């Protein structure tokens, strides 16, 4: 196809004449007066001479959209340059056409500009266009696209965002209404190539628009991060908008500047969503005299229930702005936990009679051993074997202590103290009241120990005694 501008140039001779004629109409009086002066060649003849002179000049006015943008002496170079621009645009868009009205008209008397300067002017003034499409909002063209389907895809994608957002959040949802608040139209019309946008850019632009600044008053419990999240911006953006404000020192009632997106379009949607919600179980405590005070035993394990909640959501551009519960259906009832609470009060004062603190055989007696005094009685037992209090009393130590490893020390309130060393696990804590025979720890090999055993000590008035003399 012959580009439009070539057709324009083809009719040049005629247009040149037109411009010349117009120039002549505007200026002939002045020239005729000049020529008509006595001693000068008679007027009619002079006009003829002028016309002849005009034919000899090779200067061309370059006229873009009825504006003379310059004069050139090298018509060929300008035509060649136009061809170059045209090829360049057609390489990208086959149907590209120059959209300006371009004319070359014979000129004279106006100084010509350099060809390079003329080319720069043309590059700036001329535009190529294609048969494309626009998105118009409230009858104003906002974005230009290469074709109708791109423009339509952008609108469809923006609408789709609501569905995507819901699909991310809910297993079951049903969009009952989806409308664009603005009057949005997709229109097929010629557009300038320079104004074209791709689909992703268009979407961002329509949904973000120009950002606008609003004020935010800090209310109780609000943090910097929470304010940013509630406004749909990053904490760093909030910080940037509020230089000098310390994020950790927000005051209730303080005013913050918040720059929020100001979308060009608002997709309003209503959707019915169904989600399951956990119903936490309750715990019932039952007093039990067979357990010591402070002891607890779970009889029935609690189980959370499940509610199925259907709500009606209102969304704008995929963000939930309203929610109303429609129905709640109990799918699973929670199971109440039942926990026994001990009431038995431990006897604090010991009886002076000791039971064997663990089941096992004596591996090392009380007395001199390897030239050193062994203050305890070692009872060999496998790891995890129960250790019980030899008599009732109060736990005065429960923890790690040097060579003992994990140990428990019980004061029986009658001058006697017992110690239980090398434990693998401690089951009572300092201050606990224990009864004779009550489980307090488990056999192990912690501290200075070779193999699992219980190192058991008995002290009276702070002096170690041979434990074997107290065990029955």
203 lies in the binding site for Zn ion (CB under 5 A): no
In terms of CB distance, is 97 or 378 closer to Zn ion?
378
| CB of 422 vs Zn ion, minimal distance in Å | 8
The count of residues interacting with Zn ion (CB under 5 A) is 3
Closest CB to Zn ion among 81 and 404? 404
Distance in angstroms (rounded) separating the CA atoms of residues 41 and 36: 7
Closest distance to Zn ion from the beta carbon of 427 (Å): 21
Nearer CB in complex with Zn ion: 25/373: 373
Contact flag: residue 378 with Zn ion (CB under 5 A): yes
Asked if 357 interacts with Zn ion (CB under 5 A), we say: no
Q: At CA 310, angle to CA 304 and CA 316, rounded to 5?
A: 125
* Binding segment (CB under 5 A) for Zn ion, from list 87-95, 186-194, 345-353, 452-460: 452-460
Cβ proximity to Zn ion, 422 vs 436, nearer residue: 422
Which of 455, 457, 458, 470 binds Zn ion (CB under 5 A)? It is 455
For position 457 contacting Zn ion by CB under 5 A, the verdict is no
Smallest distance from Zn ion to CB 408, Å: 15
To Zn ion, the closest distance from the beta carbon of 353 in angstroms equals: 23
Give the nearer residue to Zn ion in terms of CB position, either 367 or 431. 367
Please report how close the Cβ of residue 455 comes to Zn ion at its closest, in angstroms: 3
- State yes or no: residue 405 binds Zn ion (CB under 5 A): no
Q: Using only C-alpha atoms, what is the Rg of the chain?
A: 49
Closest by CA to 421, choosing from 469, 463, 372, 387, is: 387
Report long-range pairs for 226-234 (Cβ below 8 Å, ≥24 apart): 227/256, 227/258, 231/258, 231/260, 232/260, 232/261, 232/319, 233/258, 233/259, 233/260
Quick one: tokens of 374? 């062994």
Q: Mark the segment that binds Zn ion (CB under 5 A) among 152-160, 261-269, 378-386, 437-445.
A: 378-386
Q: Which two tokens stand for residue 260?
A: 């929020």
* Closer CB to Zn ion, 86 or 378, in the complex: 378
Identity of the residue, 246 or 450, whose beta carbon is nearer to Zn ion in the bound complex = 450
For position 376 contacting Zn ion by CB under 5 A, the verdict is yes
CB of 424 to Zn ion, least distance (A): 16
Cβ-based nearer residue to Zn ion, 7 or 403 = 403
CB of 410 to Zn ion, least distance (A): 17
For residue 378, the minimal CB distance to Zn ion (Å) is 4
- Select from 259-267, 307-315, 405-413, 451-459 the region that touches Zn ion (CB under 5 A): 451-459
Residue that the structure tokens 């389907």 belong to: 149
Smallest distance, Zn ion to C-beta of residue 416, A: 19
Q: In whole angstroms, what is the distance from residue 165 CA to residue 381 CA?
A: 63
Nearer to Zn ion, 72 or 358 (CB): 358
Nearer to Zn ion, 384 or 451 (CB): 451
Residue 422 interacts with Zn ion (CB under 5 A)? Answer: no
Binding of Zn ion by 419 (CB under 5 A): no
Instruction: Please report how close the Cβ of residue 370 comes to Zn ion at its closest, in angstroms.
Output: 12
| Chain positions contacting Zn ion, by CB under 5 A | 376, 378, 455
């Amino acid at each position: 196809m012959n580009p439009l501008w070539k057709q324009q140039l083809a009719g040049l001779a005629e247009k040149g004449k037109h411009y010349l004629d117009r120039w002549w109409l505007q200026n002939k009086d002045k020239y005729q007066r000049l020529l008509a002066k006595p001693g000068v060649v008679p007027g009619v003849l002079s006009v003829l001479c002028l016309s002849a002179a005009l034919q000899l000049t090779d200067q061309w006015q370059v006229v873009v959209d009825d504006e003379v943008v310059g004069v050139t002496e090298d018509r060929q170079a300008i035509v060649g340059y136009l061809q170059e621009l045209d090829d360049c645009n057609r390489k990208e868009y086959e149907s590209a056409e120059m959209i300006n009205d371009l004319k070359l008209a014979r000129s004279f008397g106006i100084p010509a500009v350099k060809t390079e300067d003329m080319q720069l002017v043309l590059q700036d003034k001329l535009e190529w266009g294609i048969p494309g499409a626009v998105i118009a909002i409230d009858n104003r063209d906002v974005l230009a696209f290469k074709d109708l389907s791109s423009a339509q895809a952008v609108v469809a994608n923006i609408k789709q965002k609501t569905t995507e957002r819901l699909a991310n959040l809910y297993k079951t949802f049903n969009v009952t209404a989806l409308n664009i608040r603005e009057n949005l139209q997709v229109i097929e019309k010629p557009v300038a190539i320079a104004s074209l946008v791709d689909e992703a850019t268009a979407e961002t632009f329509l949904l973000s628009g120009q950002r606008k600044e609003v004020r935010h008053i800090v209310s109780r419990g609000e943090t910097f991060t929470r304010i940013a999240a509630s406004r749909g911006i990053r904490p760093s953006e909030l910080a940037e908008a509020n230089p000098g404000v310390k994020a950790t020192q927000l005051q209730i009632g303080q005013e913050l500047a918040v720059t929020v997106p100001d979308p060009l379009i608002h997709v309003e949607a209503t959707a019915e969503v169904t989600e399951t919600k956990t119903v936490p179980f309750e715990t019932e405590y039952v007093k039990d005299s067979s357990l010591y005070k402070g002891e607890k035993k779970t009889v029935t394990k609690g189980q959370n229930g499940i509610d199925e909640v259907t709500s009606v959501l209102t969304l704008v551009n995929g963000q939930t702005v309203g929610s109303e519960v429609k129905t709640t259906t109990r799918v699973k009832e929670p199971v109440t936990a039942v926990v026994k609470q001990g009431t038995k009060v431990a006897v604090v004062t010991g009886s002076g009679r000791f039971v064997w603190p663990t089941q096992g055989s004596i591996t090392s007696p009380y007395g001199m051993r390897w030239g050193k005094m062994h203050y305890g009685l070692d009872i060999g037992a496998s790891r995890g074997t129960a250790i019980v209090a030899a008599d009732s009393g109060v736990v005065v130590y429960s923890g790690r202590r040097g060579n003992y490893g994990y140990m428990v020390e019980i004061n029986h309130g009658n001058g006697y103290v017992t110690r239980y060393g090398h434990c693998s696990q401690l089951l009572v804590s300092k201050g606990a009241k224990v009864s004779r025979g009550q489980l307090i720890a488990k056999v192990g090999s912690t501290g200075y120990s070779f193999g699992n055993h219980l190192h058991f000590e008995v002290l009276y008035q702070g002096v170690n005694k041979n434990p074997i003399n107290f065990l029955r």
